Amino acid sequence: MGLPAGLVKKLAAQGITEPTPIQTHAIPYALDGDDVMGLAQTGTGKTAAFGLPLIARMMDERAKPAPKAVGSLILAPTRELAGQIKDTLLPLVRDTPMKIGVVVGGQSINVQIKRLEKGTHILVATPGRLLDLLDRRALRLDDTRFLVLDEADQMLDMGFIHALRKIAALIPTERQTMLFSATMPKQMEEIAASYLRHPKRVQVSPPGKAADKITQELHFIAKAEKPGLLVELLDKHRDERALVFGRTKHGSDKLAKKLTAAGFKVAAIHGNKSQGQRDRALKAFRDGDVKVLVATDVAARGLDIPDVKHVYNFDLPNVAENYVHRIGRTARAGADGAAIAFCAPDEMGELKDIQKAMGLSIPVASGRAWEELPDPKAKPNRGGGGRRGKGRGGAPHGGKPGGAEGKPPRRRRRRGGGGRSQAA
């Protein structure tokens, strides 16, 4: 593919000898200096798709960065993803003069300022912390020749569009830009038109498509009964890693406590946790000391956690595309995995959006579909609504609370939509 022999040797030492489809298509364009727009789901090797040609081109230049200067800038939406990108690239520059830095929130800004003083070849950053450092004149981007936007659609979801505009305006127009995204919302076209010049478009799987080796199933179940069903299902595979997604920070903490009380080794990560707490939780999960990780969507993108066998959507996401990103945490690198979704009466709208985005119906494992709650703007319907079926998701369960005869109250359904949810 035209990569330097030294880089290929380092890849081989990691057991990597064959490129993934996104790497096969993107790397030659990037080595030629073209701008690249890559569309591919998480877990397909996007980091190496932009990282390898980036390192190769900077090796060719052999330029030492000036004080506070940044040769290449990689922007990522979350601290965890930024750290993972750095960890992926570091072995590829070992035994070379090239320096890779990372700046994210939740860590000492003074320590980061000190590290940036001598200049950085490749800087991985979250947009918010980068702007803080630019305001303090701790670094400069006027010598930056390469810009990468990773998980660009999530940066839009998290409200970073204005930050991206400010940052891009500080980078020379004569640069190479690569943008990688799992989905292609309308606003992404604006981003591409603003930042990329005649980009080569690379798409290896349709947006919204989950990995082929993920087995999906759906349980229709009352909200109050979700914890009991989760414990029941987790109990069947206590020795295997499971990732459980909730929608809110408080709800995720509450669920983690319930699972701990049920005898599981559990950790939780979300936006209210400090960076140290998040790092320790992820390390314990990777090392196997913790078997169940409860997370908000902060963990849904980009994180490469090996051997996650099960992903539970305890709460359905209110942004349909996030379902695909969540379940993409399993079946990594060709392995098998299972994705289990719970659907309460007030989540039918989210379920319909998810299945429409994916172009398929998730197989039902238990219960029967709820009747969707009425739109509060619609005229009142006196004909009675509520649920169909009995018990847990419509299946008889021997008279447990929330059983056969009860109809759910007429509540206003949370309306799905774009933008950043509380979970971020």
| pLDDT range class, residue 373, cuts 50, 70, 90 | low
274-289 CB burial, b ≥16 within 10 A, e <16: eeeebbbbbebbbeee
pLDDT score, position 394: 44
**Average pLDDT of the segment spanning 56-61:** 89
- CA–CA distance, 209 with 156 (Å, rounded to integer): 20
Q: Which amino acid is at 358?
A: M
Burial of 330 (0-12, 13-18, 19+ CB in 10 A): buried
- CA–CA distance, 173 with 56 (Å, rounded to integer): 21
pLDDT reading at 300 higher than 70 = no
pLDDT score, position 383: 45
pLDDT score, position 40: 80
Pair 176, 327: CB distance under 8 Å: no
pLDDT reading at 410 higher than 50 = no
Q: Whole-model pTM above 0.85? A: no
Q: Which amino acid is at 393?
A: G
| pLDDT range class, residue 272, cuts 50, 70, 90 | confident
β-pairing verdict for 200-203 and 176-181: unpaired
Q: Which residue has the higher pLDDT, 381 or 415?
A: 381
Pair 299, 243: CB distance under 8 Å: yes
pLDDT score, position 303: 66
The three-point CA angle 158-163-168 to 5° equals 130
β-pairing verdict for 176-181 and 100-103: unpaired
User: Among 30-39, 382-391, 394-403, whose mean pLDDT is lowest?
Assistant: 394-403
pLDDT score, position 361: 92
**Average pLDDT of the segment spanning 241-260:** 93
DSSP at 292: E
In the three-class reduction of DSSP (H, G, I as helix; E, B as strand; rest coil), residue 111 is classed as: helix
**Average pLDDT of the segment spanning 238-248:** 93
| pLDDT range class, residue 378, cuts 50, 70, 90 | low
Q: How many beta carbons lie within 10 A of that of residue 403, not counting itself? A: 15
35-66 CB burial, b ≥16 within 10 A, e <16: bbbbbbbbbbbbbbbbbbbbbbbbbeeeeebe
Q: Which amino acid is at 250?
A: H
Share of the chain above pLDDT 90, in %: 55
pLDDT score, position 210: 53
182-200 CB burial, b ≥16 within 10 A, e <16: bbbbeebeebbeebbeebb
Q: Which residues contact 397 (CB under 8 A, 6 or more apart)?
A: 390, 391, 403
| CATH fold for the domain made of 5-203 | Rossmann fold (3.40.50)
**Average pLDDT of the segment spanning 357-380:** 78
5-203 against 214-366: fold identical: yes
pLDDT score, position 375: 58
pLDDT reading at 146 higher than 90 = yes
Phi and psi at residue 334, in whole multiples of 5°? 85, 0
Q: In what order do the strands lie in the sheet with 337-343?
A: 266-269, 292-295, 241-245, 308-313, 337-343, 214-220, 364-366
The domain locations on the chain are 5-203, 214-366
pLDDT reading at 205 higher than 70 = no
pLDDT reading at 23 higher than 60 = yes
| CATH fold for the domain made of 214-366 | Rossmann fold (3.40.50)
pLDDT score, position 80: 85
Radius of gyration of the chain (CA): 23
pLDDT score, position 255: 96
| pLDDT range class, residue 191, cuts 50, 70, 90 | confident
> Mind listing the pLDDT tens digit for each residue in 92-121?
999 899 999 999 998 899 999 999 999 999
Share of the chain above pLDDT 70, in %: 82
pLDDT score, position 358: 85
Mean pLDDT of the residues in the chain: 83
| pLDDT range class, residue 385, cuts 50, 70, 90 | very low
